[in-house]
């Protein structure tokens, strides 16, 4: 486990899992949200995001936290391990709500309330994005270690075994 992707619905706890995996393994941790979002709530250009992503992909070791479907096939090609937090929507919605008002190292601003467009994206994630992730893993993940967690307890037990 040298190049690791952590994916899943927003609110699933990708960043929490990634931070703990980083703490246990010492692998460098990169949050794709920090590449994409700016503190003034603007976003990076496609070219800037891709340039920064390429720099990370060239490194010998990394944990990459985030989905970003446009670049998932590229990241799957480079990684050796995928952790997929494939949790029920209700768990993810609770996870999103629990972070309101809290500073986070994986996001350059503090979320204070629901963003309706983002909420719609999350609600559609199981029907729209989940099948896309499955197809990408089937295509690009055949030679990768793909570990799917269906609950927070499963993920916590895995991390506990690594300690």
- pTM score of the predicted model: 0.96
pLDDT digits (tens, 9 = 90+) for 105-156: 999 989 999 999 999 999 999 999 999 999 999 999 999 999 999 999 999 9
147 burial class (0-12, 13-18, 19+ CB within 10 angstroms)?
middle
3-162: CATH, from 3.40.50.300, 3.40.50.10710, 1.10.10.10, 3.30.1700.10: 3.40.50.300
Q: Where are the domains of the chain?
A: 3-162
Q: Which tens digits make up the pLDDT trace of 23-61?
A: 999 999 999 999 999 989 899 999 999 999 999 999 999
């Amino acid at each position: 486990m040298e190049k690791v992707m952590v994916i899943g619905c927003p609110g699933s706890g990708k960043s929490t899992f990634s931070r703990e995996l980083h703490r246990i393994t010492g692998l460098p941790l990169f949050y794709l949200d920090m590449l994409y979002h700016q503190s003034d709530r603007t976003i990076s250009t496609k070219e800037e995001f891709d340039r920064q992503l390429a720099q990370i992909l060239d490194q010998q070791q990394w944990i990459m936290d985030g989905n970003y479907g446009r670049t998932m096939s590229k990241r799957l090609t480079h990684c050796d391990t995928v952790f997929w937090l494939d949790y029920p929507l209700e768990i993810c919605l609770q996870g999103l709500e629990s972070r309101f008002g809290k500073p986070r190292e994986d996001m350059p601003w503090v979320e204070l309330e629901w963003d309706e467009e983002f909420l719609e994206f999350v609600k559609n994630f199981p029907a729209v994005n989940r099948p896309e992730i499955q197809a990408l893993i089937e295509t690009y993940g055949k030679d990768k270690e793909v570990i799917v967690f269906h609950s927070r307890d499963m993920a916590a037990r895995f991390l506990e075994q690594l300690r």
